[in-house]
Each structure stands twice: as C-alpha cells, then as structure tokens.
Chains A and B, each alone.
Chain A
C-alpha cells in the first residue's frame, strides 16, 4: 500500500516482462522483469557473463528475445509493443526517441565521416533540414561534450578514445532522446577522462530528464550516477533497489560478495 500518491508514480517508460534470450547453450537471460522510468538512471551491474549486455541488447531491440514482452510508452503516452514492431519502425525509434552508446566508440560512430556529420546525421533523421541550423546545433553539442568545435570537420578516427566516447554521446543525445542505453561508457578510459565523462553524463541526465539504462561493472560509477540498481548473475536479476541501499546493505550473498570485492564504492 503506497500512501504518497503524488511522487514517483507515473507509469514506466519501458517495461519488460519475462524476457528470455538463450544463446542455445543455456546462457543468456531468463525470466527477466524490469521497469525503467523517466528522469532516472538505472544501473545494471554484475560480473562478466552475468547477462548485462544481453539484457541491454534485448531492451534496445539489437537482439530479439525468444519469449516475453517489452512495452515502450511513447512521447504521446501510447504503449508500443516493441517486439511486434517492424525492423524499419525499430530503426526509426533508435534514431529518434532512443539512443545507444556502445562501449567501443567505433561501434557507435562512423569513423570515416567527420565529427560534425556524425552528430548532424541524427538531426537530419529527426527532420532538421536547414544546413546552418544543423551545423550550429552540432557545434553547440561538441562544445557541450568538450570536443573543440573547430575540429568539427575532422574524422573521429583522429580523436583520442575519450573524445570519441564524448562524440558518441553527443551523437546520441543531440536529438534529445527519451531513453538511452549505455554499455560500459567509461570502460577503457583513464581515470581523469572518466571523471570528465561522468560529470557530463550526470549533467545531461539531470538537464534532459531522460531515462538512462547504464550497464557497468564499476560500482563507484553506479553510485555516482544511478538512482536505482539491479544486480545480475547467471542471466537473472538477483537483487534490485536503491543504489545506495544495495551498496550499503546488500541482501543477496552474491551482492554482498560483489560489494565486498570492490575498492571503496
């Protein structure tokens, strides 16, 4: 029974029920229930092989679950049955309402076209037509993610790893998506670059009111960014709750082990 009716009660933006994806060897995810809400960061943690990335790919339509349901509430408030959408409709969603930031920037960027085109392309997919507008909005976003706007015409292959990752984030967020998936966005970056990226992400989530599903193995990153957290093991969610509750008072033996093995999160 929930007595406070005025806060935190809007319906979820994404809702998964009994999702199952089996790679054919018993590995994957099973029986997975999950809800994501607007204006929140949901961290998905667990060790390698726990199914985090598989879950993210199923939620973002990169993999089609063998059973279960997945419902997205569109900007107009209509529920969309994601698993029933055509391939074209899914791609349209991923270009407009949704974003996906890969761990490796080269998977999310087109490395041979300019930085500006990487960002501008998403704007064009969202019916921006005026070249000057696209260029100035792109420049504004490069500045926001701390990529020198004078490098707008350079190919991202000339950028450092941290810059490429920030460019990938700009590419995904420039169209103000409502739901963004990120797979280890700070993995592989050195500590000072990570800090820059975390600061940026936090600001953007807060300013843009977006829902962010963040896969990470770094509990310190989860504590800094996420309101809620789920802990995965062997393809199942073994614990979910407030991030600081799971980190400060983990209930499941495996969560306790995970938290205990971290350096001060």
Chain B
C-alpha cells in the first residue's frame, strides 16, 4: 500500500497508453520479454507481457512490486542490456527529428545513445580497478563531451554533497566501504545530467542524510526536465519523488 496520495495504476497489464502525452520521453508499448533458459532444458520464463508505460520530461515514474515482478527487467530493456521479444521502446531525446527506436538500432548506435542521454544508477559500482575516485565520477561527463573543468567542478560538488571526503578523491574506490562505493556510483550517475535516469534502488541501505541528498539530486534532475524511471522499495523516497507509481506483479510461469 502506498503511504502517500499518488495516482497508482494497476494491474500493470492494463494499457497506459491513454496517459501518453506529447512530451513523453520514454515510451514502452506492448513490450513482452521472456527468457529461454537453455541450460535448464529450454525452460521459458515469461517476465513481461504486453507491458506499456510512458515517462514524460520532468516526471518520475516508480515501478513497485515483489521481487521477480520484472521491475529491473523494465529498466534493463530501456537501457538495452536486455533484448525485447516484441513490442516497441521509443526514446525521444536531444534534437533528433524522430524517436530513437531501441529494437531497430545497431548496437553501436545504442552505445552512443546511452553515452549521450542515459544514466543507469544502481547500488553497485563497477569500474576499472585503478582509476582515482574523482576520475571515476568525471568519466561519464567527459564521455558525452563536457569540458574537463566543468566535469571536474560537477564531480567535486557531487562528491562533497554525498559526503565523500576530499582525502579520498585521489584514491581508487576499490578499497572504500560499501556505502562509500555506492555514493561514488550515485555521483557518477548524476554528473552528466543526462535527460533519462534509470534508477535501480540507488538509495538502498543509505543513511537518512545521504538518502536526503539523493532525493534532492533527483528533484533537481526533474526540474531540469529529465525523465526518471526507477525501482525503489523505500516508501519515504517514493512519497517524495514519485509522480506516478506502477504496481507490478510476477507473471505465472508453469514449473
């Protein structure tokens, strides 16, 4: 149950296309996804069926449901590390005349599109071992063409806000505590100010001060017109940032 008064749509398999408006930045239409597990005698595991969703600029949509409901699958389909079986995912970003159609794009185009427009923020930091923290954080900004001085400025501000002390900036995060790594990863996710943020429980296990910082960062991103699509279990976070909550339920898969 939601603690706050939000428009909650359920069940998920109802089409939400009625909610699609002009400024939609992310559109999923009738998306289906199943995994065929060849190692398990070709067992088919259906995760999404005819799932539709849209996220507008400046809007935050939260996916909620028990584990196995397919919440992270939705994020990964939008990021392109899961292939979709049917349906369509359209991304409207930048100054491009038409939408970016994920299923039709060459992997190379998806890689370039991601670098420029999408941040995937999870709890887990996965980077090359020896890079100093400040570089780790600056990197996504540099890779989408932001000037060095500006990237450094942004990275320093983010690290400051997230309570990563200056003495740690020159060290690689490999030796940091779990919480510190997680905050470095969050800084890395926000530094490029991408127009689409995919958030996979980035606040899980953060203390309340840092949780507040992340909520602040997400609000700023919304104000700048970013679209946020996230998985959060924390009701407090959901109340503070969600414009819309989508309830998801696991599909029935015969064993």
A residues whose Cβ falls under 8 Å from a Cβ of B: 1-9, 37, 40, 195-196, 198-199, 202, 206, 223-224, 227-228, 240-242, 244-245, 247-249, 251, 253, 256-257, 260
- Contact in complex: A4, B38 (CB < 8 Å): no
| Residue from the set B35, B96, B105, B107 with the largest chain A CB neighbour count within 10 Å | B107
B-side contacts of A1, CB under 8 Å: 101, 104
A-side contacts of B131, CB under 8 Å: 199
B39 interface residue per 8 A CB criterion: yes
Q: Please, could you name 15 A-B residue pairs with CB atoms under 8 Å apart, sorted by A? A: A2-B105, A7-B113, A37-B108, A40-B111, A223-B126, A228-B111, A242-B81, A242-B107, A242-B110, A248-B82, A249-B82, A249-B83, A251-B36, A253-B39, A257-B39
Q: A7-B109, A8-B109, A224-B128 are in contact. Are A256 and B83 (CB under 8 A)?
A: no
Task: Pick the contact of A7: B97, B112, B129 (CB < 8 A).
Answer: B112
- Contact in complex: B38, A195 (CB < 8 Å): no
- Cα A195 to Cα B127 in complex, Å, equals 11
Task: Pick the contact of A253: B38, B76, B96, B112 (CB < 8 A).
Answer: B38
B183 interface residue per 8 A CB criterion: no
Q: A8-B113, A195-B128, A242-B111 are in contact. Are A3 and B98 (CB under 8 A)?
A: yes
Cβ-Cβ contact count across A and B, 8 Å cutoff: 91
B-side contacts of A206, CB under 8 Å: 143
Would you give the shortest CB distance from A254 to chain B, in whole angstroms?
A: 8
- Contact in complex: B81, A2 (CB < 8 Å): no
A-side contacts of B36, CB under 8 Å: 251
* Chain B window 33-61, contacts with chain A (Cβ cutoff 8 Å), 1 for yes, 0 for no: 00111110000000000000000000000
B169 interface residue per 8 A CB criterion: no
- Cα A240 to Cα B37 in complex, Å, equals 18
- Cα A202 to Cα B112 in complex, Å, equals 17
B residues whose Cβ falls under 8 Å from a Cβ of A: 35-39, 76, 80-83, 96-101, 104-113, 116, 126, 128-131, 143
Task: Pick the contact of B116: A7, A224, A248 (CB < 8 A).
Answer: A7
Task: Pick the contact of A245: B35, B37, B83, B126 (CB < 8 A).
Answer: B83
- Contact in complex: A199, B130 (CB < 8 Å): yes
Instruction: Across the interface, name the chain B residue whose C-beta is closest to A1.
Output: B104
B-side contacts of A5, CB under 8 Å: 96-97
A-side contacts of B100, CB under 8 Å: 3-4
- Cα A1 to Cα B112 in complex, Å, equals 17
Would you give the shortest CB distance from B45 to chain A, in whole angstroms?
A: 12
B-side contacts of A2, CB under 8 Å: 101, 104-106, 109
Q: A8-B108, A256-B39, A257-B39 are in contact. Are A245 and B96 (CB under 8 A)?
A: no
Would you give the shortest CB distance from B170 to chain A, in whole angstroms?
A: 15
| Residue from the set B76, B97, B126, B130 with the largest chain A CB neighbour count within 10 Å | B130
- Contact in complex: B113, A4 (CB < 8 Å): yes
Instruction: Across the interface, name the chain B residue whose C-beta is closest to A245.
Output: B81
- Cα A245 to Cα B84 in complex, Å, equals 11
- Contact in complex: B108, A195 (CB < 8 Å): no
A-side contacts of B104, CB under 8 Å: 1-3
Task: Pick the contact of A251: B83, B108, B110, B129 (CB < 8 A).
Answer: B83
- Cα A115 to Cα B149 in complex, Å, equals 36
- Cα A28 to Cα B201 in complex, Å, equals 46
A-side contacts of B116, CB under 8 Å: 7
A-side contacts of B97, CB under 8 Å: 3, 5
Instruction: Across the interface, name the chain B residue whose C-beta is closest to A247.
Output: B81
- Cα A255 to Cα B130 in complex, Å, equals 29
- Cα A196 to Cα B131 in complex, Å, equals 9
- Cα A253 to Cα B41 in complex, Å, equals 10
Q: Contacts A3-B97, A241-B107, A249-B83 given; 17 further ones with Cβ under 8 A?
A: A1-B104, A5-B96, A8-B110, A8-B112, A37-B108, A40-B111, A195-B129, A199-B128, A199-B130, A228-B108, A228-B111, A245-B83, A249-B35, A251-B83, A253-B38, A253-B39, A257-B39
Q: Which 5 A-B pairs have the closest CB atoms?
A: A253-B38, A8-B109, A3-B98, A195-B129, A8-B112
